[in-house]
Amino acid sequence: MRNASSCKNGEEMSTEEIPLGIKLLTGLNKVLIRQKVTAFPNNKYVVLAPDSSVVFYAKEDSGILDRVLGGTSRAFEINVFDTEKKEVIRLRRPFTMGLDVKMDVAVCGKAVSVVRKEVTFCKPIININDSSDKPAFRVKGPVFTTSECDFELFTKSKQRIGVIRKKWSGMAREALTNADNYVIEFPADLDVRFKAAVIGTCFLIDFMYYEN
């Protein structure tokens, strides 16, 4: 897949039409994700470039019943906006029965990826599929998820190309809040649609393994 953005009915957009956030994401090989501490129950995040400039803001949209009854397995929608307040990514995790955990990823309103948690007994594995739900990448975590650990990103041919790294946030933040920090590394020339899916996978990891 090409690295250009296809944000308008699946067609190539001109440079002027591409949202600012997608432009900024295109050439990056690393982003930082910080969960914001707020008085609101739904999660909020900020996605930063390596120079600490803001690329995206993200906020969860889920109902009180989803939170109370579903807990960390709840259905949710995460809307991701650039600094011009344009929605550029939408992540939707529908309610599912049993062990099937999936999340749909859309960029600029177009479905681009399906993220699925694989049923395993040891290391957590999350598959990042294309829009047709065919395997594209795989994320493998450690046997034990701790306050600082790596979820490694692999291609279908088992080549390691990146990582979602959970960072230690400090004693106070780790003990008293749900605020977590992550570093994501991926190839600079990776298709921006899959970069969005990797960022969404980081949010999913935060929900599944690090939310109290």
pLDDT in tens, 166-187: 987 654 444 444 567 999 999 9
> Does the structure show a pLDDT above 60 at 11?
no
How does residue 2 score in pLDDT terms, banded at 50, 70 and 90? very low
* pLDDT of the residue at 151: 98
Q: Which domain holds residue 191?
A: 20-210
Using alpha carbons, select from 148, 104, 151, 146 the residue that is nearest to residue 126: 151
* Residue 166 counted as domain residue: yes
Q: Which token pair is 37? A: 């501490």
Enter the DSSP assignment of 66: I
Q: Is residue 5 part of a domain?
A: no
27 and 188 in contact (C-beta within 8 Å)? yes
**Which whole-number Å values give the CA distances from 190 to 34, 77, 141, in the listed order?**
22, 25, 21
> At residue 95, does pLDDT exceed 60?
yes
Cβ atoms 96, 102 nearer than 8 A = yes
Bridge partners of residue 102, in order along the sequence: 116
Residue 14 lies in a domain: no
| Spatial contact of 103 and 167, defined as CB atoms under 8 Å apart | no
d(CA 131, CA 191): 13
Helix (H, G, I), strand (E, B) or coil at 113: strand
- Residue of 1, 211, 5, 186 whose CA lies nearest to 106: 5
Query: pLDDT band for position 17 (50/70/90)?
Result: low
Number of domains in the chain: 1
Q: Please report whether residue 57 resides in a domain.
A: yes
* Residue 189 pLDDT greater than 80, yes or no: yes
pLDDT tens digits, one per residue of 108-155: 999 999 999 998 888 999 999 999 999 999 999 999 988 899 999 999
> Which pLDDT tens digit goes with each residue over 40-86?
568 899 999 999 999 999 999 866 555 555 556 678 899 999 999 99
pLDDT score, position 94: 85
Look at residue 83 and tell me if it is in a domain: yes
Contact 149, 142 (CB under 8 A): yes
Residue 169's pLDDT is 60
Which CATH number does the domain housing residue 97 bear? Answer: 2.40.160.200
Residues paired with 135 in a beta bridge: 129
